Structure 1
Amino acid sequence: MINREKLKIKFEEEMKMFDSLHPASKKMFDKAKESLLQGVPLNWMVRWMGEFPIFVEKAEGAHFTDVDGIEYVDFCLGDTGSLVGHGPKAAKDAILNQFEKGASFMLPTEDAIWVGAELKRRFKMKFWQFSTSATDANRFALRLARRVTGRSKVLVFNWCYHGTVDESIASLNPDGSVSPRKGNIGFPVDPSITTKVVEWNDPKALEEALKDEDVAAVLCEPVMTNVGVVLPDPGFHDILRKLTKKHGTVLIIDETHTMCASIGGFTYLDDLEPDVVTLGKFVASGIPAGAYGMSEEFGKRAVIEIESEFGVAKGIGGTLAANALTMAAIRATLGEILTEEFYVRNMALAEKFNKGVQSVIDEFELPWSTTQLGCRTEYVFSKTPTRTGTEAIEAKDNDLDWYLHLACLNRGVIMTPFHNMALMTTATTQEDVDKHTHVLREVVKSIVD
């Protein structure tokens, strides 16, 4: 349905429009290249559409303004890091108040007690610890799992995402072997030594991988999210839990993205029973933070192993982890922002967003599909929702991706650069959603026959 010649021409037109709209960002980018690698403080920032990233001047709620004075509807929200919106008042007040009293002591505050109890209520995990990111939460959980089980290997699902955890940046080859994922730079150990990889929604492959009982932990999202929303088949989580228990393997559920599904993520929504839950991203309203909760049984086993070692260099921790500022931010975020009402309102908006995208798909008879997960929604270039990581990757169309993202940006709509994901927050409006539908219809119309 897509005219590839039109797509090429329109993309070139959009690139010229982008350059003309953002002279101040271009000037800043050129200046930044004098001291910042690739002109950005984080490599991911060069993955936005256009020849340079736009520089942000200010943000509030679900909108931000760049240094050229252009305002955007922000559906990316920091790739989930700002799902609660930019600068929510409750978190802002708590952060400023705590900063005046001190930010970091390497000692607990009363906020930590409240946060631990609230996370326990939401995720049903007995004991909690904190880190500065979800990546570290996953790393620490894997270290504990290895120590508790006495095993070395980790199992992940093909095309998963768990931050920069080395063991998870691995791919499943057609012959069943494991290799470093494309783009895995400078891996310290060949992941075929540390990692087993199977496809999501493949119980037979999962059982085959676990039967040798050399896997310390299965690390997975309850719904794959970084290649589109890839839902579990009915009953898959029951099989996953049954097999991990049967073979003495720790089950770690990474809710960093899927906490968009409910107040307690998919664990709460689907009544899952993992050994460990990990969190991060927006749990502290954008202040860097991660958390990992443990079942009572796993927590008690972990304490025995931790206390058996002398010294503090146990591979888990971090000087700034669980600092007072972070605890205050998490308390405000959980207590006043991520409420039941937050999810009810924003899930309805996500449904409206989805229907808008579907209307464009239907109008132009596109072989695409949409999937919603709580207040998160995605569309993929596949006629039916994908079931595995491989299916999701095979559905990608980089040329089409770049054009759609760039054309939307040029019209004041920001989508997540890595995939076609949109997030709804309390400040997102019906008008914002309608704007995306209008823009998507406009840019698609220009490239179809």
Structure 2
Amino acid sequence: MLPGEDAAVVGELLAQRFGLPFWQFALTATDANRFVIRWARAVTGRSKVLVFNGCYHGTVDDVFVDLVDGVPTQRDSLLGQVYDLTRHTAVVEFNDLAALEVALAAGDVACVLAEPAMTNVGMVLPQPGFWAAARALIRAAGALLVCDETHTISTGPGGYARAHGLEPDFFVLGKPVGGGVACAVYGFTAELAARMQATKSAAPPGHSGIGTTLTANALAMAAMRANLESVMTEAAYAHMFALAERLAAGLRAAIGRHGLPWCVSQVGARTEFQFCAAPPVNGSEAEAAMDHGLEHALHLYLLNRGVLITPFHNMMLVCPETTAGMWIGWWRWSRRRLES
């Protein structure tokens, strides 16, 4: 609750890196997304959040809505929810500009909460021109764009939005910003900061419910400062990109040798193989390509050979400590195991 020197330094580092001048802190990306939704509703006076089918933004209740046969449907897996989320959450397919335009037309959407590339239903990359057109539609409708880059920070030091010029109103980043320590951040534009301040000043006095006692705690701030200054560097990303390219190329070669109808997608240091011949263009296609039995068998195969990948779908990350020698050593070890 009392900011220290690290908070000021971290704020400056975030502004330089991501291009947004104002920052607040949270303990998780879930909290940051929840706080941003509250702010978006407060400053716009609108109730609805728009998400893309198959999205994941932590355990924020508002986003647990999917398209089922084209109909927005609250997920049955959401425990303890007592009101219909579809009254306040709109959902459309990723890469579907026509559906996005229709959903925004009523003028009741406060914000579009999105990963710039979907990463939790397998991987779904934006089609060429999608985000430029989507950004124009969102602005024209008076809604706000929230980029949740907790996963797509793999794109580069400034994330996907900075690399591709998305110009979000809000930017959310979770635990990667502190190297895995419990922390998160959300940044916003100067224009939005003024609206937020005016909204807070016009409200009755008292706690807003946005923020927690442990937000910006000393450990989190120290971790973020160390990570931003010394770990998330241009050189580290260049190292990771080269190895991720090698990994993706190796996967494609192996898939080709065996004639499998699979594809490989990549977002910077993040690589995924999926059980479909062409990369999916939306969440429904990505989910349809999933084969949970095959996925579990592959994961078990890799575990038995000393390799642990993400325990859901088929995503792999390289990190600054990953080396080509690690893969060569694993390959030789695996061959010896198979031959013995």
- Compute the TM-score of the two structures, normalised by the length of structure 2: 0.95
Q: Which residue in 1 is equivalent to 2:203?
A: 309
Give the conservation status (yes or no) of the 8 Å contact 1:349–1:433: no
Q: 1:195 to 1:362 in 2, by over 3 A?
A: same
Q: Which residue in 2 is equivalent to 1:25?
A: none
Q: Map Cα deviations across residues 66-102 of structure 1 (whole Å, 9 max, x no partner).
A: xxxxxxxxxxxxxxxxxxxxxxxxxxxxxxxxxxxxx
Mapping of residues 392-403 of structure 1, within 5 Å = 392-403=286-297
- What is the CA distance between 1:412 and its match in structure 2? 0.7
Q: 1:366 to 1:398 in 2, by over 3 A?
A: same
- What is the CA distance between 1:342 and its match in structure 2? 0.8
- Give the distance between the partners of 1:429 and 1:274, measured in 2 at CA: 34
- Partner letter of residue 202 of structure 2? S
- Partner letter of residue 215 of structure 2? A
- Give the distance between the partners of 1:159 and 1:340, measured in 2 at CA: 31
Coordinate RMSD, CA, aligned: 1.8
- Give the distance between the partners of 2:211 and 2:110, measured in 1 at CA: 20
Mapping of residues 5-404 of structure 1, within 5 Å = 106-174=1-69, 176-404=70-298
- Give the distance between the partners of 1:409 and 1:310, measured in 2 at CA: 56
- Give the distance between the partners of 2:98 and 2:218, measured in 1 at CA: 46
Q: Map Cα deviations across residues 180-213 of structure 1 (whole Å, 9 max, x no partner).
A: 1242222243221111000000000000000000
Q: Which residue in 2 is equivalent to 1:84?
A: none
- Compute the TM-score of the two structures, normalised by the length of structure 1: 0.73
- What is the CA distance between 1:419 and its match in structure 2? 1.1
- Partner letter of residue 65 of structure 2? A
Q: In structure 2, the residue corresponding to 1:273 is in which secondary structure?
A: coil
- What is the CA distance between 1:410 and its match in structure 2? 1.4
- Partner letter of residue 287 of structure 1? V
Give the conservation status (yes or no) of the 8 Å contact 1:217–1:251: yes
- What is the CA distance between 1:357 and its match in structure 2? 1.2
- Give the distance between the partners of 2:294 and 2:329, measured in 1 at CA: 20
- What is the CA distance between 1:437 and its match in structure 2? 6.6
Q: In structure 1, the residue corresponding to 2:294 is in which secondary structure?
A: helix
Give the conservation status (yes or no) of the 8 Å contact 1:170–1:178: yes
Give the conservation status (yes or no) of the 8 Å contact 1:279–1:290: yes
- Partner letter of residue 314 of structure 2? N
Q: Which has the higher contact order (CA 8 A, sep 6+)?
A: 1
- Partner letter of residue 94 of structure 2? W
- Give the distance between the partners of 1:438 and 1:243, measured in 2 at CA: 52
Q: In structure 2, the residue corresponding to 1:189 is in which secondary structure?
A: coil
- Give the distance between the partners of 2:122 and 2:260, measured in 1 at CA: 17
Give the conservation status (yes or no) of the 8 Å contact 1:356–1:434: no
Q: Any gaps of 5 or more consecutive residues in structure 2?
A: none
- What is the CA distance between 1:321 and its match in structure 2? 0.5
Q: Map Cα deviations across residues 299-353 of structure 1 (whole Å, 9 max, x no partner).
A: 1101111233344421210010111221111000000000000100001111111
Q: Kindly indicate whether residue 310 of structure 2 is the aligned counterpart of residue 416 of structure 1.
A: yes
Compare 427-436 and 193-202 and name the one that shifted more: 427-436
- Give the distance between the partners of 1:273 and 1:123, measured in 2 at CA: 10
- Give the distance between the partners of 2:203 and 2:222, measured in 1 at CA: 31
Q: Kindly indicate whether residue 320 of structure 2 is the aligned counterpart of residue 432 of structure 1.
A: no
The structure that has the greater radius of gyration is 1
- What is the CA distance between 1:428 and its match in structure 2? 1.0
- Give the distance between the partners of 2:155 and 2:336, measured in 1 at CA: 30
Q: In structure 2, the residue corresponding to 1:253 is in which secondary structure?
A: strand
- Partner letter of residue 248 of structure 1? G
- What is the CA distance between 1:384 and its match in structure 2? 0.9
Q: In structure 1, the residue corresponding to 2:25 is in which secondary structure?
A: strand
- Give the distance between the partners of 1:272 and 1:315, measured in 2 at CA: 29
- Partner letter of residue 329 of structure 1? A
- Give the distance between the partners of 2:195 and 2:236, measured in 1 at CA: 36
- Give the distance between the partners of 1:155 and 1:279, measured in 2 at CA: 19
- Partner letter of residue 199 of structure 2? E
Q: Map Cα deviations across residues 122-177 of structure 1 (whole Å, 9 max, x no partner).
A: 21112100000011111001000001110101000000110011111111121x32
- Give the distance between the partners of 1:225 and 1:434, measured in 2 at CA: 28
Q: 1:441 to 1:121 in 2, by over 3 A?
A: farther
Q: 1:113 to 1:420 in 2, by over 3 A?
A: same
- What is the CA distance between 1:438 and its match in structure 2? 7.5
